Amino acid sequence: MHCFVHLPLPKESHIDIYLLLFLIIVLVGSVTVYIYYLKEKKEELDIINRGFCPKCKKDTIELTDQRSGGCSGPKILSFECHECGYHNSFSIDDKGGCGGGSCR
């Protein structure tokens, strides 16, 4: 006599539905977190453009590095605060472009 317990296996369609639901939740969560991250970066850049450090709120922020990919493409701007040590880089679209065969 065999003593095996047969547990009912879930149907494949239920597994597919749960997997799809899980993936949708992960996707929505990831997009939401990324949108929140971009909103925070924009707020920090707005504060820096006014001349203040986003962390200590003093006017000790300084542009430490500026890189570009040439005539087109984004600029990478790095800022640092000498008061509190805040450091961050931002990628900004350069709207200049090339005109007349040379970069502006």
pLDDT at position 104: 46
pLDDT at position 1: 53
What would the two tokens of residue 56 be?
A: 């200590």
13-99 is classed CATH 2.20.25: yes
C-alpha separations of 20 from 2, 14, 15, 17, 24 in Å: 38, 10, 8, 5, 6
Residue tagged 């990919």 (tokens): 69
The model's pTM: 0.64
- Between 19 and 97, residue with greater pLDDT: 19
- Between 82 and 14, residue with greater pLDDT: 82
Domain regions of the chain by residue span: 13-99
Q: What are phi and psi of 77, to 5 degrees?
A: -110, 130
Give the model confidence (pLDDT) of 45-87 as tens digits: 999 999 999 999 888 899 999 888 777 778 899 999 988 999 9
